[in-house]
Amino acid sequence: MSMSVAVKEAWWLTCFAEQQAKPDWLRQLQLEEHNNFLARGLPLRRDERWKYSDVAFLEKENYRPATLLDEEHGRTQAAAKHAALPESIFIVMVNGCFSPALSQLAKLPAGVVLCSMRDALTQHGDLLKKYLLPAAASAFANLNMALLTDGIFLHVAENVTLTTPLHVLYLNAQQSHIVSSPRHLFVLEKSARAVILEEHSAQGQDNYFTNIVTDVHTAANASLKLFKIQNDSRAATHFSQTVVQQSKDSAVEIFHLAVGAKFAREDVFVNLNEPGAHADVNGLYFLNHDAQHIDHHIQIDHKAPHGSSNMLYKGILDQQSHGVFNGKIFAHPGAAKTRSEQANHNLLMSKAAVIDTKPEFEIYADDVKCAHGATVGQVDAEALFYLRSRGVDAHTALKMLTFAFAENVLARITEPAIAQYMHNIWDGISR
């Protein structure tokens, strides 16, 4: 995108100018990333990755940096969420800023370090300089680093198992037209284990922009389960990029439930860098109001032999909504014995709903086993008639069929408590 006057005068310049002083190395990195973003500009639809998602509307917004929400107000919301999943360690982000007062840091076991990105800058600078690298893959990752406000730093030591899930709750309320740019870094050392549930929740219909980048590093034989619920306000914009780097025999499980926001984009890059690494990447999206747009771009790179991956995403689209799915799997040269499957299935509940789906494989290695496919359809009329003929009312019959469609992917969640929590949320929003 050329540097137009509109871009030069856009809100991100003001937000960057208001950034506070930070360590010199980070300030320099932010300046470089800001310049990279300005040089790139917003992606255009002629870019294949953005062919079906027009982000030009962002130039017309007037966002300002987020400020910390009153924590007493946040405490009420947080308590209700925690009561629904009590068997977890509660971590709270308020308008993109880490809130120690609302978090349960005392429940963390020995060998686990969890703190705000702000504290990590001074207390764990060496690790951050090693892992907090420029994100060259995306203009919005550049923007995230340029406008970095806060985030979570998690380090799990070698052979340590974080047996209780971390429930990271993002509260966005009481403020409109704000931008928050959390940057997270999760590092699991050799044979470490952790489970994280990331939940985005909002009250009201505020228009805000959340732009998140998460970097994940799993050492040899480490295991991370990363679940996410995106239930932002209907006027919100939600962008997220997750980059996973896997070492030998490590395992990563990712599950996304996307139901909120007016415009959402989820980019996931999983790199199986060493032999024996495994990744499960699954998701369910539900669009049920006009002009809602949710875009998932998932890429898994097999860079070493004997790696395996599974990808299953399902979507239910209603009203005049638009869904986008692109799943891409690479088997790089030398990645022999790769085993990989991917599928995307969509159910259209309205004639006005649209889905653009594109599963892809690129194979440059011998002796691999890969499969992929996509389907788009409507509710089975015969199945609906059968239920109605047995005395089931139309609304209940439709709900039963959509639940059966979604259950196949929800069943892939391997943590029972989180699976039940996801089911409860799904049941609430799919009524």
Give the pLDDT of residue 68: 67
Residue 173 · residue 66 · CB < 8 Å: no
Task: Return the residue matching tokens 């047995």.
Answer: 390
Task: Write down the mean pLDDT value for the chain.
Answer: 89
Pairwise CA distance, residues 67 & 90, whole Å: 21
Kindly tell me the sign of the dihedral angle through the C-alpha atoms of 57, 61, 64, 66. negative
What contacts 344, CB < 8 A, 6 or more positions away? Answer: 312, 313, 314, 315, 325, 327, 357, 359, 373, 374, 375
Q: What b/e string do you get for 10-45 counting C-beta neighbours within 10 Å, with b at 16 or more?
A: bbbeebbeebeeeeeebeebbeebbebbbeeebbee
Q: Give the pair of three-digit tokens for residue 5.
A: 């006057």
Q: How confident is the model at residue 3 (pLDDT cuts 50, 70, 90)?
A: very low
Give the pLDDT of residue 70: 63
Residue 252 · residue 246 · CB < 8 Å: yes
- Let me know if 87 is exposed, middle or buried by CB neighbors in 10 A (0-12, 13-18, 19+): exposed
Beta pairing partners, 90: 167
At residue 237, does pLDDT exceed 60? yes
Question: For the segment 155-203, what is each residue's pLDDT rounded down to a tens digit?
Answer: 999 999 998 999 999 987 667 889 999 999 999 999 999 999 999 987 6
Q: Give the pair of three-digit tokens for residue 137.
A: 């893959």
Pairwise CA distance, residues 277 & 245, whole Å: 10
